[in-house]
Amino acid sequence: MKGFGIHIEGLRKRYGEGDTAVDALKNVNMTVAPGEVVGLIGPSGSGKSTLLKCLGAVIEPTAGRMTLGDEVIFEDSWKIPDLRALRRDRIGFVFQAPYLIPFLDVTDNVALLPMLAGKPNGEARKRANELLDALDVGHRAKANPSQLSGGEQQRVAIARALANQPPVILADEPTAPLDSERALSVVRILNDMAQQFRTAIIVVTHDEKIIPTFKRIYHIRDGKTFEEQGLGAA
Amino acid sequence: MISLAGRDILHSWPKFVLTGIGLGLLIGVTLSMAGIYRGMVDDAKALLNNSGADIWVVQQETQGPYAESSSLRDDVYRALLALPGVSRAANVTYLTMQVRLDNTDVRAMVVGFEPGQPGEPSYLIAGRHITRSHYEAVADVKTGFQLGDTIRIRRHDYRVVGLTRRMVSSGGDPMVFIPLKDAQEAQFLKDNDAILNERARTTANPSLNRPGVPGLLDAILAAQNANHNVNAVLVQIAPGIESEQVASEIRRWKHLQAFTRAQMEEILVSKLIATSAKQIGMFLVILAIVSAAIVAFIIYTMTLGKIREIAVLKLIGTRNRTIAGMILQQAMGLGLIGFMVGKTAATLWAPFFPKFVLLEPGDAVRGFIVVMLICALSSTLAIRVALRVDPATAIGG
């Protein structure tokens, strides 16, 4: 993949109008290279979720520019007509809770995305099983999500996020429900996957256990981002 | 692409099956109601078929003998036989009453007929036809009478010598066939006390008991006690003759009412059971609304329970039509389970109804289509909720 994983310049988001308008994002700048994992931390109400929703093409920013790979996807308005397809094919999501589909087995939870993208079932399942093996949960491929431990579920969620080989993954508090050992394991996996698949990963977190593992960290405060070197770079 | 609805149903099949059974019992009741209506129509047609008549001749300005009471002199049939195109004509009486067997009684329609003439039961499933002029009976099996049973009609006992099947009144009461003379007596003859009282009144009337007119009182008393009335004359017409043509001749020249088969069917189906049909129709409408409300509520609550999953599905790029299709298919699946349970239940319990329940395949097909339509319509509420789910709700904050 050429260029940036994701690049954001002067991103703004305003809710409401007139006297009741609130600027949730005032001037967000961020660059995450392919294969890089960065942390995004900030207090409650700082704009983390709004930024994640803008990056995830779930809400429309008010102004700014976002580039995914080599393509400008937003410049004061969306440049991509089908945001659903954008989210499906080019953005991976990992949530605080795994939110696996309870009525699909592990393989199909992962294979669902390639299937939605139009891949034949066999090919989608093959891809899913490769990812599950890479994340060391291949032996649970036929299990239901409810039969997995919390750590296993989160690894399946990461496999799902990687299923369509997106250039960027947005991880929203992915280690929150896990103990230290499992949380660090998830971060290790994210780093490995970022390297292996040349994916840019943004991890929104409050988790003190994993913050030291990031090489670069973006702080967000009052709708603005500040970059700092992380301890993981040492 | 995998079937999300199918997987969800397989994943939580006990919930779907139990809900489907509940819905199915309701559908079973609905199908049974339709079957009861069909049974009433079939009973009415069976009554017409079994009478073996082409034309029913009844008292003028009545719609007898089934929908209204009708009384004719029993020699009318002779005049009818003389009409061109009439091949056979026979008197019949119909009287719905309680027929006693030992200490129990059965509601039945007692039919008086002349053996070998129209009105006779067309076939027997056991025993023989009536051969004696008095005190023998042929009964429909639904009366519960057995061959050799002695049943009581008014003041006389009758021996059951034959059994028949599907011989019922338009109201579904099984028929008991007895000789015409006995039936006339049962219907028109007064009890002994009433006869004595009537004789005393007549004798005490100076205008009817004149000293200078010998034999007048005896003649009047004899006329009072005679039974020369029947309810209808059943007419069979010769091959190749239009029944309406003969019926119009009877109306014109005999001053009687005559109904063709089509007209009698119209009276029975459109008039006699019209109120019952409307009643059943109302029940069907209410049951359809209740079924729709139940399906809508179940699918709605099931969808509310999956809001987070739906948000995730939308966030990861699932099309709205895939999500709508999932909910629609689940509603249809529920309807399918419900219909199968309902059809099975209706078939199993239909024989236990006291009246005939006719479950027609056509009604089952129409019922299935209606159930599927109701399920599809009922799912729209849940689909609206699902499509309004904001994918952003999958992301915290």
- Which ipTM was obtained for this model? 0.84
Inter-chain CB proximity B392 and A58 less than 8 Å: yes
List phi, psi (to 5°) of B345.
-60, -45
β-bridge mates for residue A92, sequence order? A169
Indicate whether B374 pLDDT > 50.
yes
Q: Which amino acid is at B345?
A: A
Cβ-based contacts of B397 with chain A (< 8 Å):
48-50, 52-53
pLDDT band at B342 (very low <50, low <70, confident <90, very high): very high
Q: Tell me, what's the pLDDT at A233?
A: 52
Of residues A98 and B29, the one with the higher pLDDT is B29
Q: Tell me, what's the pLDDT at B289?
A: 86
B396 and A CB contact within 8 Å: yes
Q: Tell me, what's the pLDDT at A125?
A: 94
Burial class (CB in 10 A: 0-12, 13-18, 19+), B165: middle
pLDDT band at B396 (very low <50, low <70, confident <90, very high): low
H-type helices in chain A, by residue range?
Answer: 48-55, 83-90, 106-116, 121-134, 150-162, 180-197
**How many helical (H) and strand (E) elements, i.e. helices and strands, does chain B have?**
12, 12
As a whole number of angstroms, the distance between CA A157 and CA A155 comes to 5
Q: Tell me, what's the pLDDT at B90?
A: 93
Question: What residue in A sits closest to B390 (Cα-Cα)?
Answer: A58
3-state secondary structure of A117: coil
Inter-chain CB proximity A173 and B396 less than 8 Å: yes
pLDDT band at B194 (very low <50, low <70, confident <90, very high): confident
Give tens-digit pLDDT for B309-325: 899 899 888 889 999 99
Cβ-based contacts of B1 with chain A (< 8 Å):
115-116, 121
Indicate whether A75 pLDDT > 90.
yes
CB interface of B with A, residues 304-363, below 8 Å: 308-309, 312-319, 322
**Hey, CA dihedral for A76, A82, A85, A87, is it positive or negative?**
positive
Q: Dmax over Cα atoms in chain B, in whole Å?
A: 119
Indicate whether B56 pLDDT > 60.
yes
The separation between CA A73 and the C-alpha centre of its own chain, rounded to angstroms, equals 17
Could you tell me which of B3, B10, B30, B13 has the C-alpha nearest to residue B284? B30
Could you tell me which of B184, B73, B81, B74 has the C-alpha nearest to residue B133? B184
Interface of A with B (CB under 8 A): 48-50, 52-53, 56, 58-59, 84-89, 93, 95-96, 99, 101-104, 108, 111-113, 115-117, 121, 144, 160, 172-173
Residue B351: CB atoms within 10 Å: 8
User: Are the CB atoms for A202 and A221 separated by under 8 Å?
Assistant: no
Question: What residue in A sits closest to B314 (Cα-Cα)?
Answer: A84
β-bridge mates for residue B91, sequence order? B233
* Pairing, β A37-41 against β A216-221: parallel
Query: How far are the Cα atoms of A201, B25, B341, B349 from residue B19, in angstroms, in the given order?
Result: 44, 10, 11, 20
Cβ-based contacts of B318 with chain A (< 8 Å):
84, 88, 116
Token pair, residue B319, equals 């099309």
Min Cα separation A48/chain B (Å): 8
Q: Tell me, what's the pLDDT at A76?
A: 87
Mean pLDDT for the stretch of residues B41-50: 85
Residue B242: CB atoms within 10 Å: 12
User: Are the CB atoms for B212 and B220 separated by under 8 Å?
Assistant: no
Give tens-digit pLDDT for A135-158: 889 999 999 999 998 889 988 998
Q: Tell me, what's the pLDDT at B186?
A: 85
Inter-chain CB proximity B312 and A99 less than 8 Å: yes
Of B317, B392, B397, the CB nearest to A48: B397
Percent of chain A with pLDDT over 70: 96
Helix (H) or strand (E) holding B188: helix B180-188
Cβ-based contacts of B314 with chain A (< 8 Å):
84
Of B11, B322, B391, the CB nearest to A58: B391
Min Cα separation A185/chain B (Å): 22
Token pair, residue B322, equals 């895939």
Cβ-based contacts of B10 with chain A (< 8 Å):
103
B10 and A CB contact within 8 Å: yes
Mean pLDDT for the stretch of residues B101-128: 90
Q: Tell me, what's the pLDDT at A66?
A: 94
Side-by-side strand order, sheet with A37-41: A71-75, A63-68, A6-15, A22-32, A224-229, A216-221, A37-41, A200-204, A168-172, A91-94
Give tens-digit pLDDT for A170-214: 998 888 877 888 888 888 888 988 998 889 999 998 888 888 888
Give tens-digit pLDDT for B3-44: 888 888 888 889 888 988 998 999 999 899 999 989 888 888
Of B12, B317, B397, the CB nearest to A87: B317
Give this prediction's pTM.
0.75
Place of tokens 């007596």: B185
pLDDT band at B66 (very low <50, low <70, confident <90, very high): confident
Min Cα separation A163/chain B (Å): 11
Inter-chain CB proximity A99 and B392 less than 8 Å: no
Q: What is the mean pLDDT of chain A?
A: 88
Residue B392: CB atoms within 10 Å: 18
Question: What residue in A sits closest to B305 (Cα-Cα)?
Answer: A102
User: Are the CB atoms for A100 and A156 separated by under 8 Å?
Assistant: yes
Q: Tell me, what's the pLDDT at A97?
A: 83
Residue A162: CB atoms within 10 Å: 27
